[in-house]
Amino acid sequence: MDGSLEQYGSQNNSIKVRSTQPLCPNEGHFPLNDDSCSQLFIKCEYSQQSRRVEGQIYRCPKGFVYWTISRRCERIHKLSNCPTSRYEVNNSIPVEWINIGSKRRNMKI
């Protein structure tokens, strides 16, 4: 994906995403940008209300990154050769607790 991510002031908590390709080509989990590993990713689901696939930005729990190979949040220490992009994000972006490697739902954010 050819895109970029910009976060604006913490008062409006908005994120602007630019991409030349669809962010949600199908249902599932997809990278936000060209990053192989990132804190952020897009979770795409079919909406009964709009009758189309819609995406929402999620972040991985602390100590995890979204890996494009497995399409889930993996522990950082398992991906030593993975260049990680870090974004300044606040708590308004939901944390993914289901699609993670070595599932642990009792971790701190």
pLDDT tier for residue 6 given thresholds of 50, 70 and 90:
very low
Query: Would you say 85 and 33 are in contact if contact means Cβ atoms under 8 Å apart?
Result: yes
The domain segmentation of the chain, as residue ranges, is 28-78
Give residue for tokens 């494009």: 68
- The pTM score is 0.68
Radius of gyration of the chain (CA): 14
CA-nearest of 23, 15, 61, 26 to 42 is 23
Taking only the tens place, the pLDDT of each residue in 23-79 is: 888 999 998 877 777 888 999 999 999 999 999 999 998 888 888 888 899 988 888
Query: Would you say 43 and 60 are in contact if contact means Cβ atoms under 8 Å apart?
Result: no
